[in-house]
A = this chain, B = another copy of it.
């Protein structure tokens, strides 16, 4: 993997970059649509590629490990082939889902015992076996196994957890050295900064993570319920420490405004279920604010979903029609809203990149943040 900085913004810490992997180039800043269990919910792979056009999508190790399971993924020749996606994939480490989804999890130094949210069966994740699982899944970028602390988090817990995450990181790295690439292409490994909302811990963790010299670095444990200002404060502290010549990935963030603010702090990569999950609940993100398409006010509004027309759904369907599909509980409504939201998120990061390259990112961002902070 190679990362090239193309432009640094003069009025903010925003950067435009280019990340090259064996599955193509990722232009940063980038938003990665979440394809939890080998599918971006309700979206055909060709729509994802042709209409939404992300350079990279995200898969969840926890979900893929449970279904279809690593045996099937290995027989398929990895996730790319299994799902028919020939561009980049990043997988998380499964840690976050273990903490948020599964019952009776027990975190020990050795690893995490957890029960499947599907059938209650018992499983054990360790830094070592999570590296093995991610080798089999075969994503282009794979993540360290960490503990994602909740918010709020007591200082001493956050500190102990951070140190364990660092020890787990060492185990990930030394185990990966014994595991060759499985499918003939490279996989890059990103460690994760933790430290909850404590400045000193974040600083300490960022320094430790920077010291391992990975190909890219991630910031975890944010967007877990803390106020946006705290998220920005932590992201800034960490970005200022992480190496400039490596991509920075802020995990699980966020709203369109969160994304622009964090781009301004030096973040290059994002993922979040918000555009897809909120779409399925009838919430549309647009450049002029958010729309709750279930509202009666759209019942007889026969104008296009979004005049901007980023994807085909925006102009081929009307607000009234989309509102009807939600009212009638027709799945096509969720499909349309999902394509719209992902199209908008990708437009947002693509345009941010253009503005960084053009040198007027800061003005554009200030204006967009104001515009998007409305309910239509």
Contacts and interface: CB of A to CB of B under 8 A. Distances in A.
Given A75-B302, A76-B302, A299-B72, A39 B325 contact: yes
Interface string A4-20: 00000000000000000
A300 to B, nearest CB: 5
Nearest to A40: B332
Q: How large is the interface on A (under 10, 10 to 19, 20 to 34, 35 or more residues)?
A: 35 or more
Given A331-B334, A335-B335, A72 B41 contact: no
A37 interface: yes
Interface stretch (A137-145, A194-202, A252-260, A316-324): A316-324
B317 A67 contact: no
A376 interface: no
Contacts of A39: 325, 328, 330, 332
Contact of A84 (B38, B44, B68, B317): B317
A369 to B, nearest CB: 32
A272 to B, nearest CB: 19
State the oligomeric state as a number of copies: 2
Contact of A328 (B37, B76, B302): B37
A289 interface: no
Contact of A332 (B43, B76, B316): B43
Interface in A312-345: 312-313, 316-318, 320-321, 324-325, 327-328, 330-332, 334-336
B84 A321 contact: yes
Given A82-B320, A321-B83, A331-B334, A312 B41 contact: no
Interface of A: 37-39, 41-46, 63, 67-68, 72, 75-76, 81-84, 299-300, 302, 312-313, 316-318, 320-321, 324-325, 327-328, 330-332, 334-336
8 contacts: A39-B325, A39-B330, A72-B300, A76-B302, A81-B302, A84-B321, A331-B331, A335-B335
Given A84-B317, A84-B318, A331-B335, 4 more contacts: A42-B332, A46-B316, A72-B324, A82-B324
